[in-house]
Amino acid sequence: MCGIFAYTGKKQAGVTLLDGLTSLEYRGYDSAGIFLPERGGIRAVGAVGNLKKKIPTDFEGHSGIAHLRWATHGEPTEDNAHPHRDCTSDVWVVHNGIIENWKELKRDLESRGHVFLSETDTEVMAHLVEQELSDGKDFESAARAALGRIRGTYGMAIQSRAEPDVIVGARMGAPVVLGLGDGENFIASDPSPILKHTRTVLFLEDGEMAVIRPNSYKIFKLGGDTVERAAQEVDWSPEEAQKGGYEHFMLKEIMEGPEVIKNTLRGRLMFEEGMAKLGGLESVKDELAKIERIIIVGCGTAYYAGLVGEYMLEEHAGIPVEVELGSEFRYRKPVLNQKTMLLAISQSGETADTLEAIREGKRKGAITVGIVNTVGSTIARETDAGVYNHAGPEIGVASTKALVSQITALALLTLFLGRQRKMSDSDAEEIISQLSLLPEKVQKILDNKAAIEAMAAKYSDSRDFLYIGRKYNYPIAFEGALKLKEISYIHAEGCGAGEMKHGPLAMIDEKFPTMAIAPSDTVYEKLASNIQEIRARRGPVVAVATEGNDDILSYTKDVIYVPETIEMLQPILSVVPLQLFAYYLAHAKGFNVDRPRNLAKSVTVE
Ligand code: M6R
């Protein structure tokens, strides 16, 4: 999730663009860059502050494009920072998204003599426009023709020195909004950088491009037809705009689930071959084919993702797996060798305990691999190989979309390692087809959020909560409890449902509710018996169950239904309602959901 911002008007463009980038900083902070036609491109690694130091405040330009990068293709270096340019440095592009066919386009452009300066997918767009301009088109037509050649997702702004007042914007799968001012117009990823200047905005839809000048704007379908759409007035504060109109980042991030899954899967499912394409593992694939054991390390939510991975990898790839808390692993004397893969899972890539576990694994000769969201983070750099999540920055302290992405990435890894071993064609085919159906299934759960909110309101006075699950949903019981306790400060415990009779059942009475994760899987009957035991002690039960399961209603009327999928992917569908439940419950209690007390987003100390 990068951020784009473009301006054409009468104000000083450098200052206006830098100010706008500051409002967009929540979208990415790997690098920042700006293009001012009279001055050229200026880029800096890190946050906007580093870019500011490079731009003179007295500079008088009146248009430009700017970008904040959250790295996907290529490390967070200055060369890879946006804007990207063509061979002549006349055409510049800022882009949020991924151009899927960039490699073939790059090959074609190189064969025509274009010289590339970065490792990014975005740079092809600048060269495509350059190519079209050299065929005699004007800037607007050249941009349209170039847009017609790319496939993938984009929110984009393009500018050419030849017509410095004109900026072309385009949208396909990544948000783009126009800001319409008096003698000035804007293009941005969301309204937050625009609101200081104008409250009149117009949201582009997929497959549309816009052409803005200081005193006019036009919108077209990529095919060329003009689009007539009324602008709207927004009364959001800049902070509300950053949250996409949601009250909290946490809710916004939960709602991003379908998009996050698509981004984690993008370009990685090989339907024909029944395989996962994981470029980040290419360098160690021969060693991975020989590993005999996997140890997964992580902390908090990432640790619970690891536990789900244990079930997946053992069942479908046939490799023995252990899962360790980073904080424990580093103080044991783990037995590792070259046939061990040590897999670190971390959203931030900076968690101290997980990082130290990886360092210990390296010292002992293990192959170290990361499932990491933050490109270029320490864990990403120090591991031998890895799989990036591409989930976009997670701002809420409670990890939500990262978990959804981590489990998705673990499924891809299971496919990859399983196919190196004995996973059958039909098993692979089923995993791939079910993975590709996940986004719409998660969307269905999200569409039901009002019912989950009502359920949370009903239980908001609870002092305790027990979460139970079995098999693949055993870790989800712990994750559900963690979400509730960290943002609502309610005492919540996760428990393997089979363990209830070994102690926790003693706590149950009419004031001690249980969240039972009870999808229609191979352990449903057993879980139903556990629910019965709780009900016999008058414990209230909320159940997460599979659509169409009426049997569950004989135990409890408080049911949250979720769609069905294969057992190994069910945790993704089970966890989303638990995230929403925790969110709404904490919200009902009036707590600061995004910044729970005593906690930090990234735990970089022991
Ligand atoms: O950045 P990481 O994934 O390594 O962070 C691990 C945990 O600190 C993190 O998941 C934490 O437990 C969250 N606050 C849970 O919501």
Mean per-residue pLDDT for 453-475?
98
Mean per-residue pLDDT, 420-446: 98
Q: How far apart are CA 153 and CA 35, in angstroms?
A: 22
Report the pLDDT averaged over residues 109-122.
93
Q: Is 352 in the pocket of ligand 1 (CB under 6 A)?
A: no
| Closest residue by CA, ligand 1 atom 10 | 301
Say how far apart CA 150 and CA 126 lie, in whole Å. 12
pLDDT of residue 120: 86
Same domain, yes or no: 205 and 225: yes
- State whether the beta carbon of 351 lies less than 6 angstroms from ligand 1: yes
- Nearest one of 55, 83, 53 to 68, comparing CA atoms: 83
Per-residue pLDDT for 519 more than 70?
A: yes
- Report which of 349, 375, 392 is spatially closest to residue 602, judged by C-alpha positions: 349
461 falls in which pLDDT band (50, 70, 90)?
Answer: very high
pLDDT tier for residue 46 given thresholds of 50, 70 and 90: confident
Q: Which atom of ligand 1 is nearest to the CA of 602?
A: 1
pLDDT single digits (tens) 373-387: 987 788 998 999 999
Task: Count Cβ atoms within 10 A of the Cβ of residue 579 and give its class: 0-12 exposed, 13-18 middle, 19 or more buried.
Answer: buried
| 512: its two tokens | 């001690």
* Domain shared by 210 and 262, yes or no: no
Residue 455, H or E segment: helix 449-458
Q: How many angstroms separate the CA atoms of 489 and 296, rounded?
A: 29
Q: Which atom of ligand 1 is nearest to the CA of 402?
A: 3
Catalytic residues: 2, 601
Residue 398: per-residue pLDDT? 97
CB distance 63 to ligand 1 below 6 Å:
no
Separation CA 590–CA 533 (nearest Å): 34
pLDDT for the residue numbered 251:
97
Testing ligand 1's pocket by substitution, the residue of 348, 383, 404 carrying the most ligand atoms inside 8 A of its CB is: 348
> Is residue 486 lining ligand 1, measured as CB closer than 6 Å?
yes
Cβ–ligand 1 distance for 594 under 6 Å, the answer no
Above 70 in pLDDT, residue 594?
Answer: yes
The yes-or-no verdict on residue 157 having pLDDT over 70 is yes
User: Any idea what the CATH number is for the domain that residue 551 is in?
Assistant: 3.40.50.10490
The residue-averaged pLDDT of 178-206 equals: 93
Whether 602 lines ligand 1, by a CB cut-off of 6 Å, is: yes
The per-residue pLDDT for range 94-112, each reduced to its tens digit, is 999 889 899 999 999 999 9
Q: Which are the contacts of 192, defined by CB distance < 8 A and separation ≥ 6?
A: 23, 24, 238, 239, 241, 242
Q: Which of the 8 DSSP states describes residue 1?
A: -
Has residue 371 got a pLDDT over 90? yes
Q: Which of 357, 371, 369 is nearest to 301 (CA)?
A: 371
8 A C-beta contact, residue 359 and residue 384: no
Question: Which position has the higher pLDDT, 235 or 39?
Answer: 39
Q: What is residue 262's predicted lDDT score, i.e. its pLDDT?
A: 94
Q: Residue 579: what pLDDT? A: 98
Q: What is the mean pLDDT of residues 161-187?
A: 95
Residue reference for tokens 């008096």: 182
In a domain, residue 46? The reply is yes
Q: How far is the CA of 301 from the centre of ligand 1 (A)?
A: 5
d(CA 606, CA 603): 7
Centre of ligand 1 from the C-alpha of residue 115, in Å? 42
3-class state of residue 480 by DSSP: helix
With respect to residue 428, please indicate whether it lies within any of the assigned structural domains.
yes
The first and second tokens of residue 265, run together, are 């899967």
What pLDDT does 74 receive?
A: 67
End of a domain among 186, 213, 241? 241
The Cα–Cα gap between 424 and 412 comes to 15
- The token pair that represents 275 in the structure block: 């395989």
Is 354 touching ligand 1 by the criterion CB < 6 Å? yes
Mean pLDDT confidence for 435-455: 98
Would you say the CB of residue 405 lies under 6 angstroms from ligand 1? Answer: no
Q: Which atom of ligand 1 is nearest to the CA of 351?
A: 4
* pLDDT over 90 (residue 439): yes
- Residue 591 CA to ligand 1 center (angstroms) comes to 19
Instruction: Measure 298 CA to ligand 1 centroid, in angstroms.
Output: 8
Q: Pocket of ligand 1, candidates 330, 583, 603: which has the most ligand atoms within 8 Å of its Cβ, to mutate?
A: 603
How many A from CA of 496 to the centre of ligand 1? 21
Element of type H or E holding 533: helix 524-536
Percent of the chain with pLDDT over 90: 81
Residue linked to tokens 């990435």:
409
Give 250 Cα–ligand 1 centroid separation in angstroms.
14
Flag whether 444 is in a domain: no
CATH code, 71: 3.60.20.10
Separation of alpha carbons 102 and 150, rounded Å: 7
From residue 247, alpha-carbon distances to 136, 241, 291 in Å are 49, 10, 46
Choose the residue to mutate in 351, 379, 383 for probing ligand 1, maximizing ligand atoms within 8 Å of C-beta.
351
User: Does ligand 1 lie within 6 Å of residue 378's CB atom?
Assistant: no
* Residue 143 domain-assigned (yes or no): yes
Residue 358 has pLDDT above 70, yes or no: yes
| Angstrom distance (rounded) from CA 602 to CA 604 | 6
Q: Is the CB of 71 under 6 A from ligand 1?
A: no
Q: Which ligand 1 atom is the nearest neighbour of the CA of 398?
A: 16
Q: Which of 447, 499, 450 is nearest to 478 (CA)?
A: 499
Whether the predicted pLDDT of 73 surpasses 70? no
Residue 309 lies in a domain: yes
The answer to whether residue 188 scores a pLDDT higher than 80 is: yes
pLDDT at 191: 86
| Ligand 1 in reach of 397 Cβ (< 6 A) | yes
Show which of 415, 439, 463 is a domain's final residue: 439
Q: How many domains does the chain have?
A: 3
- What is the per-residue pLDDT across 235-293, written as a single tens digit (0 to 9) for each? 777 777 788 889 999 999 999 999 999 999 999 999 999 999 999 999 999 999 999 99
**Spatial distance between the Cα atoms of 322 and 342, rounded to a whole number of angstroms:** 10
Same domain, 427 and 457: no
Asked, for residue 597, whether it belongs to a domain, the answer is no
Nearest to 282 by CA among 424, 387, 431, 410: 387
Res. 190: pLDDT tops 90: no
Residues 319 and 372 in one domain: yes
Q: What is the mean pLDDT of residues 176-198?
A: 94
Which atom of ligand 1 approaches the CA of 300 most closely? 12
* Minimal-distance CA residue to ligand 1 atom 14: 398
Pair 337, 361 in one domain: yes
3-class state of residue 121 by DSSP: coil
> How many whole angstroms from 403 Cα to the centroid of ligand 1?
9
Which residue's C-alpha comes closest to atom 11 of ligand 1?
Answer: 300
Rg, the chain, Cα only: 25
The verdict on 307 and 396 lying in the same domain is: yes
Per-residue pLDDT tens for 547-569? 999 999 999 999 999 999 999 99
Strand boundaries in 397-457, DSSP class E: none
For 258, the token pair is 């379908």
Residue 463 CA to ligand 1 center (angstroms) comes to: 24
- 520 with 494: CB under 8 angstroms? no
Please indicate, yes or no, whether residues 406 and 267 belong to a single structural domain of this protein.
Answer: yes
Q: Are 403 and 537 in contact (CB under 8 A)?
A: no
Structure tokens at 598: 């005593």
Whether residue 266 sits in one domain with residue 231? no
Residue 277 has a CB neighbour count (10 Å cut-off) of: 14
The answer to whether the beta carbons of residues 66 and 47 sit under 8 Å apart is: no
pTM above 0.85, yes or no: no
| Judgement on whether residues 188 and 66 belong to the same structural domain of the protein | yes
Final residue in a domain of this structure, among 409, 439, 469? 439
- What is the predicted pLDDT for the residue at 551? 96
Q: Supply the pLDDT for residue 239.
A: 73
- Verify whether ligand 1 is closer than 6 Å to residue 399 (CB atom): yes
Same domain, yes or no: 107 and 15 = yes
Q: Are residues 107 and 66 located together in one domain of the fold? A: yes
Cβ of 299 below 6 Å from ligand 1: yes
- Residue 556's domain comprises 449-588
Supply angle C-alpha 442, 444, 447, rounded to 5: 115
> What separation in Å is there between the alpha carbon of 479 and the centre of ligand 1?
11
Instruction: Assess contact for 391 and 348: CB atoms under 8 A.
Output: no
605 assigned to some structural domain: no
Residues whose CB falls within 8 Å of the CB of residue 536, separated by 6 or more in sequence, listed in order: none
**Centroid of ligand 1 to alpha carbon of 476 (angstroms):** 15
Phi and psi angles of residue 226, each rounded to the nearest 5 degrees, phi first: -75, 140
The number of beta carbons lying within 10 Å of the beta carbon of residue 420 is 17
Mutation choice for ligand 1 from 253, 399, 579, CB with most ligand atoms inside 8 A: 399
Does some domain include residue 362? Answer: yes
* Ligand 1 touching residue 300 (CB < 6 A): yes
Question: What is the overall mean pLDDT for the chain?
Answer: 94
One domain, residues 279 and 167: no
For range 40-55, the mean pLDDT: 89
Can you tell me which atom of ligand 1 is nearest the CA of 379? 4
pLDDT at residue 345 greater than cutoff 90: yes
- Report the separation in Å between the CA atom of 601 and the middle of ligand 1, taken as the mean of its atom positions: 7
Q: Write the residue with the smallest CA distance to atom 12 of ligand 1.
A: 300
